[in-house]
Structure 1
């Protein structure tokens, strides 16, 4: 008898990239590419196009690959988010990889506001986010992470998570935020997450960004959320931790209302 070959688990790969150009007073879609499990759709708003990325595989596990990207020509203004929370499930083998790169032209502005990433027990995820600004371009960048779903009684004891966010201006780094979270860190107590199971980082980068520090600090009072903000040299950064994802989300919605001076993306609205 001939031995059956070992079955290889099916993996999910996908990429979605969009380019925008300025035509008169309007920001318009120029190029749309999407393949595999990555999709994107958009609709116009009074503040410019709103792009929603989605992963049709429903989540990620070891060996999956996902890439998102935007290119904004001079003067464009775009908001981009994800349809729902991304989920990193238990990985039996390998690491899931996400590559995000946005390029923002002169005088353009990007709000990159993905919804939360939920990390499940024994998940393995590596993600890199790069926002490349040119000249006087600006951006508002958010990343939020939730360790399991409290309502389902989930507890995360073992994981492998590496996340790196970079904002560049003319090729030079102006904001770099690396994070590595593993099993040892989860058990390190108050020295790491202080018992929090949800955390986020929000950054506004652009000329005069630090002027929003006062209004931002004025709304950092959501019960159950520990947060702090700082502003200097054309940057404003906010760090947040909470015992659960819902208080964190409520606080983020209030912050976005201040920093965007308008409504949050439609998929964020509760």
Structure 2
């Protein structure tokens, strides 16, 4: 029996929400809020570095994001707490006839630290991915934020010829701008191959870390032996690192090397890589 046309064209979508909160109790950071709706949640909190740093792994069970899907993630790190959030693997945005959305709302109170360290985002050709991130810092709050985006699937011979990737990122401290960025990349656009654009590199990555690095440390970071094309810029109160790469693995390795060097100097703790990054 043939299905009615309206049924055949219908594609179900997921709306998932995750709300997290962290507080400081003595020398320990503990979760104080963990609420989810739909297919988005965190695994058991981990203390790989001891009780001061609470690590959560954000899991999206469907494994991919399709047209019409919406992910809303909200996290609040309370005064003097330290939260580290990562993911178990790449986020995949599938080809779709309509946009899919992700919205992050991150708040870090005075004396607190947030590390937002997800694994890469893979945007399939013909996907319509729209991401929005708002980060509010209070007082002397500290932040380490990174993202990695892979357009298309070069290993499968797929270029990013259709669809779009759109990203909005705002970071404020006490209501004042630290970072304000808008990106929109169209599939098949000339900037994908232009030397003033992505220069034929399907992967790009950004690391933003509060604080100011010494000129000596910046030089060490700039001289890392890695096949990416990257560099760092020190802005008032914010260090920016960006790269272009042929493969997500190269960009990921570069970000981890930078994080390992910069974390002790800017955040005050030696770097301990989450075990999930090695699985």
Same fold (TM over 0.5): yes
Mapped partners of 1:132, 1:212: distance in 2: 25
1:168-198 C-alpha deviation (Å, 9 max, x unpaired): 1112221112211113245552221011111
Mapped partners of 1:54, 1:81: distance in 2: 9
Mapped partners of 1:55, 1:247: distance in 2: 24
2:147 to 143, 162, 179: 143
1:249 to 249, 252, 256: 252
Q: What residue number does 2:267 align with?
A: none
Matches within 5 A, 1:121-270: 121-183=125-187, 184-187=189-192, 189-205=194-210, 209-212=211-214, 214-220=216-222, 221-260=224-263, 261-269=270-278
TM-score normalised to the size of structure 2?
0.89
Mapped partners of 1:139, 1:213: distance in 2: 20
1:65-113 C-alpha deviation (Å, 9 max, x unpaired): 0011211110001111122111111012x10000011111111010111
Q: What residue number does 2:266 align with?
A: none
Secondary structure, counterpart of 1:6 in structure 2: helix
1:104-133 C-alpha deviation (Å, 9 max, x unpaired): 111101011111100111010100111111
Contact 1:144 1:199 in 2 (8 A): yes
Q: What residue number does 1:118 align with?
A: 122
| Number of residues of Structure 1 aligned to a counterpart in Structure 2 | 264
Mapped partners of 2:216, 2:238: distance in 1: 13
**Aligned: 1:9 with 2:14:** no
Listed as ranges, the gaps of 5+ residues in structure 2 are 264-269
RMSD: 1.8
Which aligned runs of 4 or more in structure 1 are off by greater than 6 angstroms? none
Contact 2:22 2:32 in 1 (8 A): yes
Deviation at 1:265, TM superposition (A): 2.2
* C-alpha distance 151-212 of structure 1, shift in aligned 2 (>3 A): farther
